[in-house]
Every structure is written in structure tokens, then in C-alpha cells.
Structure 1
Amino acid sequence: MKRLILVIAVATLFSCNNNENKTPATNIKDSVVTKKTNTDDNPTQEKILENEFKNFITVLTSKDKDKIKQLFKFPVADSILNIYLDYAHTISDAKGVITEEAFLKNFDKVCKFWMVDEFASSFKAMQLDSLSQGKEIFYEEPSDKIQPCYKHCSLIFKNDILHFTYGINRNPNFNNKVKPGNGEDENVCDETSIIWEFKFDGKKLVFIRQLAAG
């Protein structure tokens, strides 16, 4: 009888120990799942901004006129959507505004002016994971002495305003073999910049203006 009681006591103790060992594992699993869910449901402001900018680049490089036109609220003042072209006067009317109809009619020319094709790969090369308030992200295309120009992109986020600039600069290391005075144009590179400005309201990017320089 004593031996039977001892066996039951040992079995009960072993069962309790097993239950205690299983409990922490379940809690740890639940904790990990909860943490992952919270991260997905509550992204940081920096992550939202990064995703919004990536979405803008996706739309811009798609060259889909129906998607790109949604960036603007037409009619747009030509001083805000600054398409600096020889035919710019044909896009804006006498009141200095660009209508949706005029924008779509000249869409291919506008995309060419924005240099969408030339900069698609440069946009994707930018490291956006460090985008935050007061930060500047800069990307410069590698160049050598045989290239007269190089491409550059920069992002500055300050006071909730995102400044996005991209363009072409003259390569200071370019080895120009053309001698002055032989009739050749010494200005082998036309410097130009396209500038976009957005307001970040914490949830999305809101277009402010687009400028051109060069």
C-alpha cells in the first residue's frame, strides 16, 4: 500500500512539472505573434513616409497618364506645375493655368521633360530606409572621365515638407578633348534639375508644386 501511494505521488509530481514547462513556451509564442501584429498595424511615421514616396516613384515611372494626373488637382497654375518648355505656352491658357485636358494632350512631351525614362534606375538606387525629419538622402550616379555628365537625386525632409530633386550636372572630371575655337560647342552638358515638393500630413504626401531649373 505504501508503495502504491509513493508511485501515485511521483506520477503527480511529474505531471505538474510537465505542465509548468509547457506554459512559458505558449506565452513566448503568443508574445512574438502579438509583437509582429503590432508592428504591422502601427507603422512609424518614417515608414509611412518611405512607402508614400515609393508609391509616388512607382506612379511617376509607370508613365500611366490616368495615374499621374491624380497627383494634381486640375486646373493647376503653371507657376505650380512648372513645365519649362518651348511649347509651355501651348499647355497653359491665357489665365496661366493648366487644365486636365491640356495636360493629357501633352502628356508624352511632359514625361520626356521630366526625364522619367532616364532616371527610373536612379530613383530605385536611392536608399530610403533612413528617410526621416531633418535628413538628406543623396544619390550620385558613378561617372568617369569619359562621361561629360552625371545624374544625381536628393531627398530632404524638413518641417514636414519633402523636397525631391533630380537632374543632370556637368562632370568636373570629364576629359574634354575638344579644343576651344574649333567650332565645337564647349558646353557638352546641359545642366538641368527637376524639383518636386510635397507636404506630409502623417498619412500621405500632398503635392505642393513642381519646378524646373537649368
Structure 2
Amino acid sequence: MSSCNSEQKAKTSDTASVKNDDTVIVDGSSLATPAAPLKSDSSALVKGIISELDRMNQAFVKHDVAQITSFFDFPIHDTALVFFEINPEFDAQYKANGNKVSRAMFSKHYSRIEEFHSMTEFIPLFKYLKPEGLLKSNMVEHEHRVKNDGCYYFYSIRRQGATVILTYGTNTSSAYVNPDPEEGEVCGEYAGTWFFEFRDGKLHFVKQMTAG
């Protein structure tokens, strides 16, 4: 009986053992226990988001299309990002793809997409806002006012757990005195809001919304 128990223990030992780092060894192969999701306010989560926002900043400053596309998962569906009258070639391919945009399409026509969605506004957004501010608050924001300009410009970065919301836009400046009251609207008010989710160490685009 003792011999049988010893043999069974030996088989069990050969089949599986548990290490202190929660890695299970089975038949000589390693099956690591999946990492637990980061807590919504953990330091690691916030620092990871900040690192990705810094990378995004550099991508837009350098106009690095390859890096910019790395924040998007392709194909992009029209429910996440609207594409309307980009150019005849793009529009035809977009329709043929069932209103979905491939990485190749996005890269080839990026200049027009950037213009259509005012994506150059990411540059002043990161100029006025420092992502490391998220270490102290879930939101950083800035209003930029220019003398004799009918608009003021607003920018914000907001974090809700693993979701990051970037917003830029314009509002009418109450300090502006219109020299021609009959001119009508002095500021084309709008807001562009971009939602990203931090997972697997990266920011992933979720959707974009425009108002105004």
C-alpha cells in the first residue's frame, strides 16, 4: 500500500505543481494565470494611460500616420466614426466595403480624414494639457482665449476608469464685442469628443461624437 501511494504521489508531482508566482506547470508546459484586470483607480492603470497619451501626442505632433493608426482597430465601422464625402475614391471603396474603413484606406486618405474630423486639434489639446495631471485628478481642462476673436477654444482630457475621453471645440466668447451686430454668428460653435479604452497596455479607439 505504501508503495502504491508513493507511486501515485510521484505521478501527481510529475503532472502538475504550483509555483509561488501562481504559474501552473503541467506536463512540462507553463500555463500562466491570466493577469487580473487593473483596478479602475490603480496607479498602474493611470500611469499606463498617461504613457499612451504621451505616445499619442508625439504621433500627432510628428504627423506619424503609422503611429496614429495604431490607436485604431480595423476595420472602423460607421457606428464608431463617420466618413462623409471624403473624396470620390475613398467614398466608392467605403460603400463597397459596407461602410467600413480598412487600415490601408485610413492611411492612404489620412490627410483628408484629418481635415474632415479636425484632428489637428489634438496638437493644441496636448500643448495646453499635460496627461500627467491625471495623477491628481480624473480631468484636466483648459480654455484658450484670443483677443478680438469671437470664439474661445476649449480642451479636456477626462478619465472614467479605463475609458479616456478627449474633447476639443469652440464656444462664443462673451468678452468679444462684435463691431458689426448685423453680421450674425461670430463663432461656429462645435465640439469633437473622442472615446478610447485602455486595455492590454494600449489605448484603443471606441467612438467619436461631434456636436454643433
- Kindly name which structure, 1 or 2, has the bigger radius of gyration based on alpha carbons: 1
- Counterpart of 2:196 in structure 1: which amino acid? F
TM-score (norm 1): 0.66
The structure carrying a bigger helix percent of its residues is: 1
The verdict on how the C-alpha distance between 1:60 and 1:148 changes in structure 2, with shifts beyond 3 A counting, is: same
Indicate conservation of the 8 Å contact 1:138/1:155, yes or no.
yes
Residue 196 of structure 2 corresponds to 198
5+ unaligned residues in a row in structure 2: which ranges? 1-42
Identity score, percent? 24
Query: Residue 209 and residue 130 in structure 1: after superposition, are their counterparts in 2 closer, same or farther (change >3 A)?
Result: same
What pairs up with 1:174-213 in 2 under 5 angstroms? Answer: 174-180=176-182, 184=183, 186-201=184-199, 203-213=201-211
Post-superposition CA distance 1:127-173 (Å, at most 9, x none): 332315972111111333x1111211111111321111112222122
Task: Provide the aligned C-alpha RMSD in A.
Answer: 2.6
In structure 2, what is the Cα distance between the partners aligned to 1:61 and 1:194?
19
- Opposite residue 150 of structure 1, the aligned amino acid is Y
Which amino acid in the other structure matches residue 139 of structure 1? H
Matched to 2:193, the amino acid is I
| Structure whose residues are more often strand by fraction | 2
Q: How many residues align?
A: 166
**Cα 1:152/1:161, change in 2 over 3 Å:** same
Cα distance in 2, alignment partners of residues 157 and 133 from structure 1: 11
> Offset at 1:99?
2.4
Give the deviation of 1:202 after TM superposition: 6.8
Superposed CA deviations along residues 75-96 of structure 1, whole A, max 9, x for unmatched, are 210221234x444882732522
Structure 2 match to 1:125: 128
Contact 1:133 1:160 in 2 (8 A): no
Aligned to 2:55: 55
